Structure 1
Amino acid sequence: MDSYPLGFEEDDRLRSAFIRNLTLHQLNRSATSNVAGSNLTSSIPKTLLQYWHDPHDVPEDVQVCINSWKRLSAEGFAFRMFNDVSGAEYITEWYGESEQEAFARCRHPAMRCDYLRMCVLVAEGGLYVDADDVLLGDNWRYLFHDSALKVQPLCYDIPSCSMVPASEIWRSDLLTDERIFYVNNDPIAAPAHHPVLKRALSRSTEKLLGKARFPEIQETTGPGNITASLAAHARDLMIRGAPLDFELLNDWESIAQTRWDLSYRNDARNWRNMDSH
């Protein structure tokens, strides 16, 4: 691990290279023998977590996405739909003043959603999905086949300003120049108290309580935060020779699809438009 010194996860280039190496590592290992917590039962609760900041103003097209998951009630799922008010109440119930203040400093609904999902998953576990994800088939069952944390790897191609197709990420001959490898914070399937999410929550809280007036969303609460936390955790496990307790999903697109043509993406409710408003 000499190429990845302590604290390497805060370096964008090293972090990207490490995530790329994790995908190659997963290709070369057995899915059952090298993942801690692999067993015939799962400690990930069948609780679906979602978030929309204003429960009285959910766009119709977003509600269609949310409703697509309702059929999981027949599979024994419980549903937790949070908003800005219930999210703050949850953090007050389960956490202390630092987390309450950090949540209050999240300057956009997307940031509050990012932060709240970590709080709930650390405390109770479950499956978090974004409100603009649509459930497709029955492959969701795989998420619960063991107790490993499950997240989705992503890759951004800088020259084309576009995402690399999910299937391409797993190619062993994929060129890495001018590409950024990271993991998404949607979906997240996890048992309670998973160390990656505990680390991510702590890192995010520290950044939100820091001196930055307008902390950048991706790095503070979003994918950058969970990527850094997962990378640091994975390095620790590898140094100890311990099995990995997480899995990078290579087939999330067979489970759910993100809808990009939703009305809210054109206004300030879309975090990508945050600083322009």
Structure 2
Amino acid sequence: MRQFNSAADAVGSISASSIPRTLIRYWHDLNELPDDVKECLNSWNRLDREGFDIRTFNDLSAKAYIADKFGARETAAFARCRHPAMRSDYLRMCFVLAEGGMYVDADDVLLGNGWRDIFRDGRLKLQPLCYDIPTSRMVPASQFWLADLPTDGRVFYVNNDPIAAPAGHPILARALARSTEKLLGDEQVSIIQSTTGPGNLTVALATHAHALISAGSPPDFELLRNWDDIAETRWDLSYRGDARNWRNVEGSGF
């Protein structure tokens, strides 16, 4: 198995014009997997009949994977991820960058066959989100594409669930490099959202999109309009009430 010396080394390392049918999931301790989370994970198992390689990682297997595929910096950065959510964030960037595929969170439930559209081409696929600060609520996805969508008091960003891409995508290389730099920096307590989570991925996407526009190049990514039709997030899971939920650690509203 090839090892990459850095995130940048993984860009273009594997020739791929399409997204491999690999599904990546994460739960920090599979020996202590809650029944309701297991039910969510099991909803995706039917994809093995569609030719998917389903890979489920925990803390130990993620650490071994990163050490095997990447270098000392990435291994050290993963060790500094202080919460299971951070370790999940970091592993998904590493895996999809190195091998390609689709990552989904453990609280997602597969609904139908809309997933097929994600694999129709090799563009990176991400889910757009919008948080309304005055109401402390997420804006419904059906409103994102309105021409007169209000922008005042709202935060627009992309989620890091799902992430679907061919191996070596430059957006993931940027995101992983930035996250690694922050984790190995002087900040004693890294903010999850901006260090490994959606905030970090949004910065990488915006930087990459600006470079494409400046070069007159077409986009090599797509913002999904229909993720809510493909998968449903279960919000009533047992772990959400304790420290396993990163929002309870940092108190973030989005």
Q: What TM-score comes out, normalization by structure 2 length?
A: 0.92
Instruction: Give me the whole-angstrom Cα distance separating, in 1, the residues matched to 2:87 and 2:178.
Output: 15
Match of 1:193 in 2: 168
Write the deviation string for residues 170-223 of structure 1: whole angstroms up to 9, x where unpaired: 111111000010000000110000000000000000000000010100000000
Q: Which amino acid aligns with 1:197?
A: L
Could you say what secondary structure the match of 1:171 adopts?
coil
Decide which of 91, 95, 103 is 2:78's aligned counterpart.
Answer: 103
Q: Work out whether residues 42 and 145 of structure 1, in 8 Å CA contact, stay in contact via their aligned partners in 2.
A: no
Q: Work out whether residues 42 and 144 of structure 1, in 8 Å CA contact, stay in contact via their aligned partners in 2.
A: no
Write the deviation string for residues 115-173 of structure 1: whole angstroms up to 9, x where unpaired: 00000011000000000000001000000000000000000000000000001111111
Q: Does 1:156 align with 2:131?
A: yes
Gaps of 5+ in 1: 1-40
Could you say what secondary structure the match of 1:79 adopts?
strand
Q: Which amino acid aligns with 1:273?
A: N
Q: Does 1:255 align with 2:225?
A: no
Q: Which amino acid aligns with 2:121?
A: D
Q: Does 1:228 align with 2:200?
A: no
Decide which of 113, 121, 128 is 1:138's aligned counterpart.
Answer: 113
Decide which of 37, 57, 62 is 1:62's aligned counterpart.
Answer: 37
Could you say what secondary structure the match of 2:18 adopts?
coil
Instruction: Give me the whole-angstrom Cα distance separating, in 2, the residues matched to 1:87 and 1:140.
Output: 25
Instruction: Give me the whole-angstrom Cα distance separating, in 1, the residues matched to 2:126 and 2:205.
Output: 10
The Cα shift of 1:274 comes to 1.7
Could you say what secondary structure the match of 2:127 adopts?
strand
The Cα shift of 1:273 comes to 1.2
Match of 1:147 in 2: 122
Match of 1:240 in 2: 215
Q: Does 1:75 align with 2:50?
A: yes
The Cα shift of 1:42 comes to 5.3
Q: Which amino acid aligns with 1:177?
A: D
Decide which of 85, 88, 99 is 1:124's aligned counterpart.
Answer: 99
Match of 1:274 in 2: 249
The Cα shift of 1:234 comes to 0.3
Q: Which amino acid aligns with 1:191?
A: P
Decide which of 161, 178, 181 is 2:153's aligned counterpart.
Answer: 178
Q: Does 1:207 align with 2:182?
A: yes
Q: Which amino acid aligns with 1:140?
A: W
Q: Which amino acid aligns with 1:44?
A: I
Instruction: Give me the whole-angstrom Cα distance separating, in 1, the residues matched to 2:71 and 2:197.
Output: 21
Write the deviation string for residues 210-261 of structure 1: whole angstroms up to 9, x where unpaired: 0001010000000000000000000000000000000000000000000000
Q: Does 1:91 align with 2:61?
A: no
Could you say what secondary structure the match of 2:175 adopts?
helix
Write the deviation string for residues 65-100 of structure 1: whole angstroms up to 9, x where unpaired: 000000111100011000000000001100111000
Q: Which amino acid aligns with 1:94?
A: K
The Cα shift of 1:43 comes to 1.6
Instruction: Give me the whole-angstrom Cα distance separating, in 1, the residues matched to 2:229 and 2:247.
Output: 26
Q: What TM-score comes out, normalization by structure 1 length?
A: 0.84
Alignment of 1:10-29 (within 5 A): none
Instruction: Give me the whole-angstrom Cα distance separating, in 2, the residues matched to 1:127 and 1:172.
Output: 30
The Cα shift of 1:103 comes to 0.1
Aligned-residue Cα RMSD (Å) equals 1.0
> Aligned residues: percent identity?
64
